[in-house]
Amino acid sequence: MKNNFVSLEISQELVDEVDRLLKDLETRLNPLSDLTIAEQRRLAKMGRKNVDFVERGYRHADINRDYLIGKISFEKFKKDVDLGKWLRIVEKKMGLVSSKVKTTAILAESDAYRAARLYYNAVKAAARAGDELAEPIARDMSIHYRKKKSAQDEVPPAPVSQN
């Protein structure tokens, strides 16, 4: 096929290893929080301006702890600053990997779609020429081009075998 965008072979060993690593990562990072959109909106936004404010406050508090009020522990402040910095680094690295995974998935799916279209065109031609096996395959694949019903109405039929 011309212009194949991506051609990677993923071994079952790699699939299993990635699954294991992702499960391990999820387990290790299990204490991380998960907030709803509404909960996130109620929190202070940490754009560059607020990050700078936190960093300045932290540097000053490290030198002049006398101004820390009773409810503010410098150790807790430090822990939050360090955790935030580290998680932003992790987020950036994971974002780069996620972006590559997403892009490669799009390329692979595009290649697969083009292959399916070529197959469908060949099956249609065979069906028009009177090939009895090709007719039900062409009919089944033509569902893609019909006006869509709801997802509940579409039941994918089993592949037609040559037996």
Please report where in the chains the tokens 């997403």 appear, as a residue. Answer: 102
Contact by Cβ (8 Å): 138, 116: no
Within-domain flag for 57: yes
Q: How much is the pLDDT for 125?
A: 97
Q: Where are the alpha helices (DSSP H) in the chain?
A: 12-28, 37-42, 48-63, 74-128, 134-141
Range of the domain at 129: 45-145
Within-domain flag for 76: yes
Within-domain flag for 17: no
Within-domain flag for 80: yes
pTM, whole model, 2 decimals? 0.69
Report which DSSP code applies to 43.
S
- What secondary structure does DSSP assign to 22-40, as a single string? HHHHHHHTTTS----HHHH
Within-domain flag for 6: no
Within-domain flag for 109: yes
Please report where in the chains the tokens 């939050």 appear, as a residue. Answer: 80
Average pLDDT value for residue range 60-77: 90
Model confidence pLDDT, tens digit, residues 9-51: 899 999 999 999 999 999 999 889 888 899 988 888 888 899 9
Within-domain flag for 102: yes
Per the structure, the count of domains in the chain is 1
Model confidence pLDDT, tens digit, residues 96-141: 999 999 999 999 999 999 999 999 999 999 999 999 999 999 999 9
Please report where in the chains the tokens 């019909």 appear, as a residue. Answer: 146
- What secondary structure does DSSP assign to 2-25, as a single string? TT--------HHHHHHHHHHHHHH
Within-domain flag for 36: no
